């Protein structure tokens, strides 16, 4: 076995030296070190070697492999050098290699559009932590512990072992509304705030759900705010995003931090209202849950509810992208494939 | 929650065409996005939100539809109870933190057999499996009127006493489905004079469940403390229809 190994090594060395160009060299490499290469096959035969000589065989085999690999890379460098020396004329006026340009992700594009629309309405953008406390994400939003509505937002909890964090108090935020409590503590009303951000919910991943998603949440606190102000804002924003002829309608819904709570339905752009798998055959797609801020939320933030009230809303950013570009599967947006991104 | 329309019609006259009714219900907050045909029947799928547990029954949905349409529901006709004919004592030891209200009745001389076809069909249309006449009746009434109830084999209640208490944690319990569990701390349980016979609000015990041999039954209606039910449910990873119903406050 040992002799076989040595003769194989010499054979390989000879072949490498004889290689004329890069292609030939690659053939030699594959023949010896590739998947079915002679050295690879020899490695598999190691069990046929008697016990005593196995160690030396193994050492010699590894040494040979390394030697061959080094020789190949040296030869490769030598070949490149000789190639560049062979060229006698080079057109220096030729344009250089074009660097590949990046593409802005559709989520980023839509986000900057949304920011612009709300900027025009007088909103400021606030950014908040993705790892939140249970207090801001739930309790400050009128969702006490053990409230059944927590079941609708399956929460990821951060493992607090080994830290001085209280267990089950640190979570990945399930909604950017968590920022409401934080922002309202920073200043005094009136507020017009927009909070875009990534949220996390423990959900089964399918065509219209993921475990991480982008929300844009917003809220207004001012004197004498009406439900009609909310409806008007929603109509304006959706008109700007999807066109002024977009049909919308409202339905009652329930969130503990708004009262009344509404959900905005927009005619499904994918099937134009006829019914498809994205809108579950109804022809309408939920797009903007909203409502008048529950007085408990304002009181917790230290705001006088006799003077101030307001509304809050949320838009699913991923949903806007889906509806606008008619992408039927949400997972397309988080798949790292240049063929997708290069279309935007 | 599945709502068969023929069952709904026993409690409210439906005046709107189906698609309009579905949108009106959604508009009122009782989201109804799909309705499937099952032979002659149409079954609506509604989504009950945490703030409206009164929708968790056929009667509850009927009430909402009556409010939407502006007509009245047909009240359930409940006959008077027959007079007491024998003495079948049962001692309930309550805890008002756990059951706000606890009412029950002993029924003697029942015969356990499969339910009639019409009842089996209704149970199936609810999305449940028919088991026997007594269990099916309790599930049926719960679904129809929104009253949480459970049936026990009376002769399996040792000492004719039911102690309502909280578990210490670690007790063994076999549910009516035959699955063994180790109970977490502070689960609401009912113990007779010897053993645990019920995981209150979530699953009945295998020992006290209604089997073919049952001759006398104890039927009870409980208004459970929803916080305990939800906490125990989460701690055990056990979600049951009964548990869901009781984890929100039902109007009694």
pLDDT of res. B157: 93
Distances from the Cα of A80 to the Cαs of A20, A281, B170, B249, in angstroms? 11, 62, 74, 79
pLDDT of res. A187: 85
Please tell me the pTM assigned to this model.
0.74
Spatial distance between the Cα atoms of A279 and A326, rounded to a whole number of angstroms: 12
Residue A153 clears pLDDT 70, i.e. is over it: yes
Residue B98 clears pLDDT 70, i.e. is over it: yes
Residue A326 clears pLDDT 90, i.e. is over it: no
B227 touches A at CB < 8 Å: yes
Minimal Cα–Cα distance from B95 to chain A, Å?
A: 21
- Closest residue on chain B to A154 (Cα): B234
Asked if residue B198 lies in contact with residue B205, where contact means CB atoms within 8 angstroms, the answer is: yes
Q: Do A148 and B50 touch (CB under 8 A)?
A: yes
Nearest to B247 among A148, A152, A282 (CB): A148
Instruction: Return left, alpha or beta for B8; rule: phi > 0 is left, psi -120 to 50 is alpha, else beta.
Output: alpha
Q: What is the pLDDT of residues A258-301, one digit of tens each?
A: 999 999 999 887 777 777 776 777 788 888 999 999 999 999 99
Residue B117 clears pLDDT 50, i.e. is over it: yes
Q: Do B34 and A281 touch (CB under 8 A)?
A: yes
Mutate to test the interface with A, among B50, B186, B234 (most CBs of A within 10 A): B50
pLDDT of res. A86: 65
pLDDT of res. B148: 86
Residue ranges per domain, chain A?
A: 2-86, 106-341
Minimal Cα–Cα distance from B31 to chain A, Å?
A: 8
Helix axes A2-18, A51-86, angle to 10 degrees: 0
Per-residue pLDDT band at B252 (split at 50, 70, 90): very low
Number of CB pairs < 8 Å for A and B? 38
Residue A152 clears pLDDT 50, i.e. is over it: yes
Spatial distance between the Cα atoms of B10 and A142, rounded to a whole number of angstroms: 38
Residues of B in contact with A147 (CB under 8 A): 50
Q: Which CATH number fits domain A106-341: 3.30.930.10, 3.40.50.300, 3.10.20.90, 3.90.480.10?
A: 3.30.930.10
Q: In b/e form, how buried is each residue of B12-39, taking b as 16+ CB within 10 angstroms?
A: beeeeeeeebbbbbbbbbbbbbebeeee
Per-residue pLDDT band at A55 (split at 50, 70, 90): confident
Q: Do A253 and B226 touch (CB under 8 A)?
A: no
Q: What is the pLDDT of residues A202-222, one digit of tens each?
A: 888 776 677 888 889 999 999
Asked if residue A215 lies in contact with residue A176, where contact means CB atoms within 8 angstroms, the answer is: yes
Minimal Cα–Cα distance from B13 to chain A, Å?
A: 23
Residue A235 clears pLDDT 80, i.e. is over it: yes
Mutate to test the interface with B, among A142, A248, A252, A291 (most CBs of B within 10 A): A252
pLDDT of res. A297: 92
Minimal Cα–Cα distance from B245 to chain A, Å?
A: 11
> Structure tokens of B225?
């403390």
Nearest to B27 among A152, A251, A282 (CB): A251
pLDDT of res. B248: 62
Minimal Cα–Cα distance from B58 to chain A, Å?
A: 20
Per-residue pLDDT band at A75 (split at 50, 70, 90): confident
Q: Of how many residues is chain A composed?
A: 344
Instruction: Give the mean model confidence (pLDDT) for residues A88-97.
Output: 81
Minimal Cα–Cα distance from A250 to chain B, Å?
A: 7
Mutate to test the interface with B, among A142, A146, A155 (most CBs of B within 10 A): A146
Residue B250 clears pLDDT 60, i.e. is over it: no
Residue A340 clears pLDDT 60, i.e. is over it: yes
- Closest residue on chain B to A146 (Cα): B227
Q: Do B227 and A146 touch (CB under 8 A)?
A: yes
B157 touches A at CB < 8 Å: no
Per-residue pLDDT band at B251 (split at 50, 70, 90): very low
Mutate to test the interface with A, among B37, B49, B239 (most CBs of A within 10 A): B49
Residue B94 clears pLDDT 80, i.e. is over it: yes
Q: Do B51 and A281 touch (CB under 8 A)?
A: no
Nearest to B51 among A151, A250, A254 (CB): A254
Please state which of the ranges A268-277, B28-37, B148-157 shows the lowest mean pLDDT. Answer: A268-277
User: Which ipTM score applies to this complex?
Assistant: 0.78
Q: What is the pLDDT of residues B102-115, one digit of tens each?
A: 999 999 899 999 99
Q: Of how many residues is chain B composed?
A: 252
């Amino acid at each position: 076995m040992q002799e076989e190994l040595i003769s194989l090594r010499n054979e390989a060395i000879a072949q490498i030296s004889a290689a004329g160009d890069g292609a030939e060299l690659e053939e030699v490499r594959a023949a010896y070190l590739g998947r079915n290469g002679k050295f690879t096959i020899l490695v598999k035969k190691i069990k046929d070697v008697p016990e005593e000589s196995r160690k030396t065989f193994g050492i010699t085999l590894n040494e040979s492999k390394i030697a061959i690999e080094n020789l190949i890379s040296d030869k490769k460098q030598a070949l490149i050098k000789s190639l560049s020396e062979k060229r006698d004329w080079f057109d220096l006026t030729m344009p250089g290699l074009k660097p590949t340009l990046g593409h802005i992700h559709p989520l980023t594009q839509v986000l900057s559009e949304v920011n612009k629309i709300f900027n025009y309405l007088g909103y400021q953008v606030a950014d908040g932590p993705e790892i939140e406390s249970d207090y801001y994400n739930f309790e400050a939003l009128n969702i006490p512990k053990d409230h059944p509505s927590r079941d609708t937002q399956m929460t990821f909890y951060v493992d607090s072992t080994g830290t001085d964090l209280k267990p089950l108090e640190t979570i990945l935020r399930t909604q950017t509304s968590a920022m409401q409590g934080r922002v309202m503590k920073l200043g005094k009303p009136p507020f017009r705030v927009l909070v875009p951000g990534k949220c996390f919910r423990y959900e089964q991943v399918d065509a219209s759900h993921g475990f991480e998603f982008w929300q844009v949440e917003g809220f207004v606190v001012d004197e004498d705010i009406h439900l009609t102000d909310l409806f008007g804002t929603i109509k304006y924003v959706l008109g700007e995003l999807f066109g002024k002829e977009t049909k919308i309608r409202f339905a009652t819904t329930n969130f503990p931090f708004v009262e009344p709570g509404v959900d905005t339905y927009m005619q499904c752009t994918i099937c134009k209202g006829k019914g498809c798998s994205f809108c579950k055959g109804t022809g309408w797609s939920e797009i903007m849950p909203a409502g008048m801020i529950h007085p408990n939320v304002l009181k917790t933030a230290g705001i006088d509810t006799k003077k101030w009230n307001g509304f809050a809303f949320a838009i699913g950013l991923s949903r806007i992208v889906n509806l606008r570009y008619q992408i039927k599967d949400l997972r397309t947006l988080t798949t790292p494939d240049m063929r997708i991104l290069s279309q935007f | 929650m599945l709502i068969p329309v023929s069952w709904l019609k026993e409690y409210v006259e439906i005046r709107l065409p189906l698609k309009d009714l579905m949108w009106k219900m959604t508009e009122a907050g009782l989201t109804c996005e799909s309705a499937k045909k099952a032979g002659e029947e149409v079954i609506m799928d509604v989504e009950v939100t945490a703030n409206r547990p009164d929708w968790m029954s056929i009667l509850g949905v009927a009430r909402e539809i009556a409010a939407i349409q502006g007509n009245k529901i047909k009240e359930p006709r409940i006959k008077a109870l027959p007079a007491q004919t024998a003495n079948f004592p049962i001692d309930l030891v309550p805890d008002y933190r756990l059951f706000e209200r606890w009412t029950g009745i002993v029924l003697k001389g029942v015969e356990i057999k499969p339910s009639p076809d019409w009842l089996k069909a209704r149970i199936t249309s609810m999305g449940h499996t028919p088991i026997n006449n007594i269990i099916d009746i309790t599930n049926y009434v719960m679904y129809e009127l929104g009253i949480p109830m459970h049936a026990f084999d009376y002769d399996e209640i040792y000492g004719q006493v039911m102690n309502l208490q909280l578990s210490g944690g670690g007790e063994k319990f076999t549910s009516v489905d035959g699955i063994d569990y180790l109970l977490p701390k502070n689960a609401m349980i009912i113990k007779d004079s010897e053993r645990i016979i019920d995981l209150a609000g979530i699953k009945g015990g295998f020992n006290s469940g209604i089997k073919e041999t049952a001759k006398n039954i104890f039927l009870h209606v409980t208004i459970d403390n929803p916080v305990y039910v939800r906490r125990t449910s989460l701690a055990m990873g056990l979600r049951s229809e009964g548990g869901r119903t009781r984890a929100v406050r039902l109007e009694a």
